[in-house]
Amino acid sequence: MFDDRYTLAYKLYPYEKSADQDLDAPVRHPVVVVGGGPVGVATALDLGQQGIPVLVLDDHEGVGMGSRAICFSKRCLEVADRYGCGTPMVEKGVTWNLGKVFHRDHKVFEFNLLPEDGHKYPAFINLQQPYFESFMIERLRALQAEGAPIQLRGKNRVDAIEVKDDHVVLTVMTPDGPYTVEADWLVASDGASSPLRDKLGLGFTGKVFRDSFLIADIRMKGDVDFPTERWFWFEPSHGEGASMLLHRQPDNVWRVDFQIGWDVDRKEELKEENIRRRLDAFLQGVEYDMVWSSIYTFQCKRMERFRHGRVFFAGDAAHQVSPFGARGANSGMQDVDNLGWKLGLVIQGKAPEALLDSYSDERVHGADENILNSTRSTDFITPKSEISKIFRDAVLALSDTHDFARPFVNSGRLSVPCYYDGLPLNGADDLPGGPARARPGAPCPDVPLGDGFLIDRLGARKGATFQILAIDAEVPERVSAQGLDLEVVKVSAADAPLVGERYLGAASSAVYLIRPDQHVAARWEAWDEQAVAQALGRAIGLDMGKEL
């Protein structure tokens, strides 16, 4: 009746009977999150920090086994930092910025994902997904201990959903039998095969790619001298796989990924002797233990909209991409980053419900960018037609000797933060000479500040608070507008030169309106109370649905 679908790495939230189960009438919760993966738990952290009661239902009792997602991006870590768990991730993770691409035995391309200094977080860390999830659950326990209204229930599987105009009714199965839960708002973060999406009959459309990849995570014995970089081979000279990826993880574990073709016998390929045959061809004499292996195929798909009335879809449940580019878990974290404060403001009656539509607008924009990049990489790695293969091979052949061809080499364009360009919440861009990287819609660029970093002082860590970032500009000590109290952060370019480069450009002063998710809402050269109030109104959705 209640079998696990996968093996657990850590049993972190064993089933306990909750008081809800013994009551005659269903209990109504402000927010129920379905799915206790990284996206679901992050949602709980975001809302819990705001003091919004949130209930997470997961059909397992902990974190699943297997490295799975391993590359966590700078933006994802900045989101985790806002939730209070970025530091342990970086401490445990393997930091890397550099990628190298080989064709046979020649290096044909190299990229540095963070070619500049002055950021708290690196371009990427590699960290096995069970660690990533465990750090978030540790943080969730710490918040609970501080009194945050978060509940996490293991072995609570949603078997039925009924969506009403102003709430959702869930039938939840447990080892003690079923019970009913009601939610004002529901966040579905139940993974790529989202049972909730199916139950609601919602579509999930896109492309399926005809190739399979064999992942082998291995622990090297003794000293190995592979650097901490992402190495990718097209047509590796040892002949195992049409392409191959090598990537380091903590605990001396390495991810090796072979492209093995579409028509493969999965059971046969997953036999240890066959995996070892491929690995030995590459590693030639190095001793290793097998840690985890899996075969995956992939698709690039998304839902048409991520909000359906009272129900939000987030993470893989809403959109799926190929793993090339590390755009899965990293975009899921950005979904939560975007949804958390909006839901918080609406639940507290501080913003209109229409604000919630902007979650779909902004994150569909993000998903499309990820799908575009991921699809292009995948088409290069596994060309889908004869002519596409001819051009791909021509690029690789030229890139052996000609630098001009190297930018065409595409082994995955790695996850970069999303800029919400041209979307309805953005306000004025009234800072002549202001740097494009900090335009409205952009995530705030980090800069070193005193002993720390600017990013430490930006974004909401408790309530869904907007901020005024004043750079060498006169602003009031206290700012209130549209019924909200704003936080004022004052910085001088004299103390931190990079503030000038990343926030002022040619301007000599600036006033930025910053959203709770650290994205820029609007910017001006000087303080203007009315303009700030207008931009704040727009950023909390007062203009949503009106003609722009």
Partner 1 sequence: MGHLNTSRNVARADDVYQMLIDAHEGKTKDESDAFNARLILTLMNHIGDEAVIAEALAVAEG
**Binding residues for partner 1, total number by CB under 8 A:** 12
**Among 114, 220, 270, 398, interactor with partner 1 by CB under 8 A:** 398
**Ranges within 256-285 binding partner 1 (CB under 8 A):** none
504, 447 contact by CB (below 8 A):
no
* CB closer to partner 1, 228 vs 388: 388
* CB closer to partner 1, 386 vs 547: 386
Alpha-carbon gap, residue 403 to 405, rounded angstroms? 5
Q: How far is the CB of 96 from partner 1 (least distance, A)?
A: 30
* CB closer to partner 1, 27 vs 405: 405
Alpha-carbon gap, residue 536 to 517, rounded angstroms? 14
Q: How far is the CB of 548 from partner 1 (least distance, A)?
A: 28
Q: DSSP readout, 423-489?
A: -TT---EE-TT--GGGSTTSBPPP-EETTEEGGGGSS-SSS---EEEEES----SSEEETTEEEEEE
* CB closer to partner 1, 408 vs 527: 408
138-147, long-range: CB < 8 A, 24+ apart? 138/85, 138/88, 139/45, 139/83, 139/84, 139/85, 140/41, 140/44, 140/45, 140/48, 142/84, 143/45, 143/48, 143/49, 143/84, 144/48
* CB closer to partner 1, 4 vs 403: 403
100, 50 contact by CB (below 8 A):
no
CA distances from 299 to 17, 41, 193, 204, 256 (A): 38, 25, 12, 11, 20
**Among 65, 98, 270, 405, interactor with partner 1 by CB under 8 A:** 405
Options 28-36, 65-73, 384-392, 538-546: segment touching partner 1 (CB under 8 A):
384-392
Write the secondary structure of 358-386 as one string of H (helix), E (strand) and C (coil): HHHHHHHHHHHHHHHHHHHHHHHHCCCCH
63, 8 contact by CB (below 8 A):
yes
**Among 164, 390, 476, 483, interactor with partner 1 by CB under 8 A:** 390
Q: How far is the CB of 109 from partner 1 (least distance, A)?
A: 15
Residue 408 binds partner 1, judged by CB under 8 A:
yes
* CB closer to partner 1, 248 vs 392: 392
Options 38-46, 202-210, 341-349, 400-408: segment touching partner 1 (CB under 8 A):
400-408
**Among 142, 224, 397, 506, interactor with partner 1 by CB under 8 A:** 397
Residue 200 binds partner 1, judged by CB under 8 A:
no
Which tokens is 496 given? Answer: 């931190």
Q: How far is the CB of 261 from partner 1 (least distance, A)?
A: 20
**Ranges within 39-98 binding partner 1 (CB under 8 A):** none
Alpha-carbon gap, residue 358 to 119, rounded angstroms? 29
**Among 222, 267, 404, 422, interactor with partner 1 by CB under 8 A:** 404
**Ranges within 350-379 binding partner 1 (CB under 8 A):** none
Q: What are the φ and ψ backbone dihedral angles of 152, each rounded to 5 degrees?
A: -130, 115
Q: Nearest to residue 411, comparing CAs of 441, 437, 379?
A: 379
- Give the gyration radius of the chain's Cα atoms: 24
* CB closer to partner 1, 15 vs 408: 408
* CB closer to partner 1, 109 vs 503: 109
* CB closer to partner 1, 23 vs 394: 394
Q: How far is the CB of 391 from partner 1 (least distance, A)?
A: 5
Q: How far is the CB of 387 from partner 1 (least distance, A)?
A: 8
Please enumerate in sequence order all residues whose Cβ is within 8 A of that of 19, keeping only pairs 6 or more positions apart, or say none: none
Q: Nearest to residue 202, comparing CAs of 156, 161, 159?
A: 161
Write the secondary structure of 115-164 as one string of H (helix), E (strand) and C (coil): CCCCCCCCCEEECCHHHHHHHHHHHHHHHHHCCCCEEEECCCEEEEEEEC
45, 140 contact by CB (below 8 A):
yes
Q: How far is the CB of 394 from partner 1 (least distance, A)?
A: 3
Q: What are the φ and ψ backbone dihedral angles of 135, each rounded to 5 degrees?
A: -65, -35
* CB closer to partner 1, 398 vs 542: 398
Q: How far is the CB of 380 from partner 1 (least distance, A)?
A: 13
Q: How far is the CB of 255 from partner 1 (least distance, A)?
A: 31
In the block, which residue shows the tokens 């949503």? 544
* CB closer to partner 1, 2 vs 391: 391
Alpha-carbon gap, residue 147 to 352, rounded angstroms? 28
Alpha-carbon gap, residue 272 to 199, rounded angstroms? 38
**Among 2, 226, 262, 391, interactor with partner 1 by CB under 8 A:** 391
Q: How far is the CB of 409 from partner 1 (least distance, A)?
A: 11
Residue 395 binds partner 1, judged by CB under 8 A:
yes
Q: Which one-letter amino acid corresponds to residue 533?
A: A
* CB closer to partner 1, 210 vs 402: 402
**Among 224, 290, 394, 506, interactor with partner 1 by CB under 8 A:** 394
Q: How far is the CB of 415 from partner 1 (least distance, A)?
A: 25
Q: How far is the CB of 106 from partner 1 (least distance, A)?
A: 16
Residues at the site binding partner 1, with contacts judged by CB under 8 A: 387, 390-391, 393-395, 397-398, 402, 404-405, 408
